[in-house]
Chains A and B, each alone.
Chain A
Amino acid sequence: MLEIKNLHVKLEEEDKQILKGVDLTVEAGKVHAIMGPNGSGKSTLSYVLSGREGYEVTEGSATLDGTDILALEPEERAAEGLFLAFQYPVEIPGVGNMTFMRTAVNAQRKARGEVELSSADFLKLVRARAQELQIDADMLKRPVNVGFSGGEKKRNEILQMAMLEPKMCILDETDSGLDVDAMKLVASGVNALRDEGRGFLVITHYQRLLDHITPDVVHIMADGRILKTGGPDLALEVEKNGYTDLIAEGA
């Protein structure tokens, strides 16, 4: 599904190489986790894939079901089925959460040549999905993420994911700033979306999120490369011994 080959990325503003040859394939139906210390390039990978400005791909490729996503605008990538759950969801004063989601859902449908959802159908759908994530009507009415707690923001990300039904989901440090209960709620939201047609890339610093979202494959990233790949056990090893030994071993 998602195929990243020899991806090299530098910052546009300064001559600093962040990704130094990332190779990664996420198959449909699988959950891959990327773990790594701060500064390893995990978040950069998510930004580059979703199309944030400020990065320059100097070498390599990334395709989603064969489509070169790096050549696309962010909204085109979204319409292709790519979704990034932000580490820091953005507050947008003045734009209602519901308006925002309906605009997004219908923009994607339009881009794919599908019929747009009517207000009534959208409302029915969003209410059902919101309930599963314990998101109340008030949160839907408020401006996007404005005044939301950390947990509410992350649940709102998962709600958007549930509404947009992407085929490839990237979760960037979704566990950061969450207490255990909030994390369980978010994880169950993610697990509900696990499906044989959908791939996940879960980026996290700590192993604890992976207790709730069990990965099929775990990658260790350091200094802009994937150093080691293994099963769920690899995450436990990180938890026990930290990154230092693994990195020393990989280098």
Chain B
Amino acid sequence: MALPKAKEDATATRLAGLSLPADAGWSRAAREDALARLQAQGVPQRRDEYWRFTNPSAFTAPEVAEAPSRDLPDEIPLGAEADRLTVVFTDGVFDPDASDALEGEGMEIARLAGAPDIHWARDLYGTLEARGQDPVDRPLAALNTAFATDGVLIRVSGKVTRPVSIVYRHRDARSDVLLHHVIRIDADAALTLVEAGPAGARSNIVIEADIAQGGAFHHVRDQGREHDRSATTAGFARLGEAAVYKSFTLSANGALTRNEHVIECLGNGGIAHVAGAAIGDAAAHPFHHDDTVFITHDALDCESRQVFKKVLKNGAVGVFQGKILVREGAQKTDGYQISQSLLLDEDSQFLAKPELEIYADDVACSHGSTTGAIDEEALFYLRSRGVPEGPATDLLVLAFLAEALDEIDDPDIAGVLRDQLSGWLSRHATR
């Protein structure tokens, strides 16, 4: 079917400045397929149902809106709390001096750019992204697969002694970053991956994670706290029998963020948990944060959880689109979804679209979405005990976010993120 004219034009405009990497090598076929997908779908536009609450134009414009970088030396970055194998990308460009040697016990690790023909990566690159295009188009992810300039390829088969940390640094106010990471967890292996920092003025990052039987992938991400950047991410995961996928994202500030998760539970007894805490104050800079999740249950006895919390003030906007699809025969599915926002004033807004689509008859699925203000009773109770209004409000905000942070298994990582949230609150005194 031909695209509408406006969409076709927008797609052509976006593609005009892009070309497939000359040294794509083994990934060329996957990239060409992805480009064909993108051309068939067209870039997302405001009128698309899947973009009803978030205007994608900043992601699709040929020019990157200016987003100055900020030096923020005052906090411990996520990842520094433990000994990790660190890979640094500055404005999307691999920084060999700042990075550790790409080798680690229990794993193979390489860069996407210039990687030799690694058969496991060739089989996976673009594969999970392509699977994730049905039933909803994800053209930005296809664009990423086609044009990604670099990324990290990790295959874990044994015991990993140093978890991996991908650190993003942003210096160039006009950088346009396209990175694509591929993770393969072999049977009974496990990996913790931390991503931290603002990737660029505009960034589009895709992770494909294929988790074999009994494997576990823990992913924690901190998107930095820059104001003007726009960021879109998509995490595609495929879970085998009894595989575990857990992902948590902290987003403080950011003009525009869209984080998608597309997860398929294909083996019996798989566990998929995705969670996020977002906090934004639109007084001086715009803040629009969108979490879009699609979890498919296609096996027996799988468990999925979505826990998303947003704290919004001074006209900040939060969006949640979350779906649980239970296919025929996926009996004993345990699906849970909660999305909540705390509005600290009357100017902020939260838009939520929770969905369940169930074709099996023996499942337990629940979803809930709430939006509300600070509980005045609780605030008075705290103040009557001597806690001033500002700190009392902060305590209640942190309490609200706690349920999402509780999804993080590693207490040290959770501690770092909690400190960052406390710091944010103290810089954005409420009353």
Contact = CB atoms under 8 A, between A and B. Distances in A.
A104 interface: yes
A164 B386 contact: yes
A1 interface: no
B384 A95 contact: no
Interface stretch (B8-16, B40-48, B216-224, B397-405): B397-405
Interface residues of A, number: 32
A50 B395 CA distance: 21
B423 interface: no
A93 B399 contact: yes
A74 B380 contact: yes
Interface in B375-429: 375-378, 380-389, 391-392, 395-396, 398-403
Given A73-B389, A95-B395, A51 B403 contact: no
A103 B396 CA distance: 12
A160 B384 CA distance: 11
Contacts of B381: 86, 89-90, 92, 144
Contacts of A52: 380, 384
A53 B380 CA distance: 8
Contacts of B382: 92, 100, 103-104
A135 B387 CA distance: 23
B171 to A, nearest CB: 38
Nearest to A90: B381
Interface in B140-177: none
Interface in A77-108: 77-79, 83-84, 86, 89-95, 99-100, 103-105, 107-108
Interface centre among B380, B389, B391, B401 (most CB of A within 10 A): B380
B380 A75 contact: no
A78 B386 contact: yes
Nearest to A112: B386
A74 B383 contact: yes
Contacts of A164: 385-386
Given A53-B380, A89-B381, A107-B391, A94 B386 contact: no
Interface residues of B, number: 24
A115 to B, nearest CB: 16
Nearest to B399: A94
Interface centre among A73, A103, A164 (most CB of B within 10 A): A103
Contacts of B391: 103, 107
Interface centre among A74, A84, A160 (most CB of B within 10 A): A74
Interface centre among A73, A104, A164 (most CB of B within 10 A): A104
Contacts of A111: 386, 388
Contacts of A73: 383, 388-389
A92 B399 contact: yes
A94 B384 contact: no
A53 B377 CA distance: 10
Given A90-B378, A95-B395, A95-B396, A74 B384 contact: yes
A107 B386 contact: yes
A79 B384 CA distance: 9
Given A53-B376, A86-B381, A94 B398 contact: yes
A93 B400 CA distance: 8
A95 B399 contact: yes
B385 A78 contact: yes
A90 B383 CA distance: 12
Contact of A94 (B376, B380, B383, B402): B402
A171 B405 CA distance: 37
Contacts of B387: 75, 103-104, 107
B325 to A, nearest CB: 30
B385 A104 contact: yes
Interface string A10-36: 000000000000000000000000000
23 contacts: A53-B380, A73-B389, A74-B383, A75-B384, A75-B392, A77-B384, A79-B386, A83-B384, A90-B378, A90-B381, A92-B375, A92-B378, A94-B396, A94-B402, A95-B399, A100-B395, A104-B382, A104-B387, A107-B385, A107-B386, A108-B385, A111-B388, A164-B386
Interface of A: 50-53, 73-75, 77-79, 83-84, 86, 89-95, 99-100, 103-105, 107-108, 111, 143-144, 160, 164
Closest 7 CB pairs of A and B: A94-B399, A78-B386, A104-B385, A108-B386, A74-B383, A90-B381, A94-B402
